[in-house]
Amino acid sequence: MENLYIKATDSTPYVNFNSETGVFLLEGKSVPENAHEFYQTILNWLDEYVENPHENTVVSLKLDYFNIVSSKRILYILYKLNELIEKGYKVNLEWFYHEDEDDMLEVGQDFAFMVKIPFKFTEYNPFAII
């Protein structure tokens, strides 16, 4: 199975889903003109991944902002990952949010309530010097 890699744009997030390691990253801003089309690529890939997944899938969601339409598609991704848990596989999700944006934390908490995936919430400062 090919890995899924999509470069970020001004309106779509960076996507790096590695089927060999089970490590998935979705990062950036998600306000695509056609969210259905953009996320359908990811959902189709996940359909295939669910048939032959890595034993342990680790997901990092580090979205700065997303619109309502993207929110619905992100929830579909979580439902698809939920299928792995129902099949007995391990899935862990780390939800990153800016330290001054409690709204993103609350959205993540709402998503966590809707699925069986264990969420870890990580606050970060996007302007911190490393």
CATH of 55-130, one of 3.10.20.90, 3.40.50.1370, 3.40.50.620, 3.60.40.10: 3.40.50.620
For residue 25, pLDDT over 90 is answered with: yes
Q: Model confidence over 51-109: pLDDT tens digits? A: 999 999 999 999 999 999 999 999 999 999 999 999 999 999 999 999 888 899 999 99
**Beta carbons of 42 and 15 less than 8 angstroms apart:** yes
- 130: pLDDT strictly greater than 60: no
Q: What is the band of 114 on the pLDDT scale with cuts at 50, 70, 90?
A: very high
The model's confidence at residue 128, banded by pLDDT at 50, 70 and 90, is low
In 3D space, the residue among 69, 68, 70, 75 whose CA is nearest the CA of residue 108 turns out to be 75
- In this prediction, residue 14 carries a pLDDT of 98
- Residue 129 buriedness (CB in 10 A; 0-12 / 13-18 / 19+): exposed
